[in-house]
Amino acid sequence: MSAESNRERQKRWRERTLKESDGPQLTRLQVYIELEAAADLEQIVRKTGWTKRVAIETAIKKLARDVD
């Protein structure tokens, strides 16, 4: 049995996650952000215990409410 690389496992996880209908509907977001914003994100994650995904989703949802 050959060892599966981390990259291959991650790829399979991403494909499976995006196709699952019983979990949250997800889309992949790949962006570059300024260093200061990245540091702010890390601080939020550290202080709240959230994942980066949860922190970003929370910020987007709050901003969406604020601009309405």
What is the reported pTM? 0.69
Task: Give the pLDDT confidence score for residue 21 in this predicted structure.
Answer: 66
Torsion sign across C-alpha atoms 12, 15, 18, 22: negative
Task: Give the pLDDT confidence score for residue 22 in this predicted structure.
Answer: 72
Encode the chain (68 residues) as per-residue pLDDT tens digits: 567 899 999 888 878 877 766 767 778 889 999 999 999 999 999 999 999 999 999 999 999 999 98
Tell me 21's DSSP state.
S
- Terminal CA-to-CA distance of the chain, rounded, Å? 55
Is residue 28 within 8 Å of residue 18, measured between CB atoms?
yes
Domain ranges in the chain? Answer: 6-67
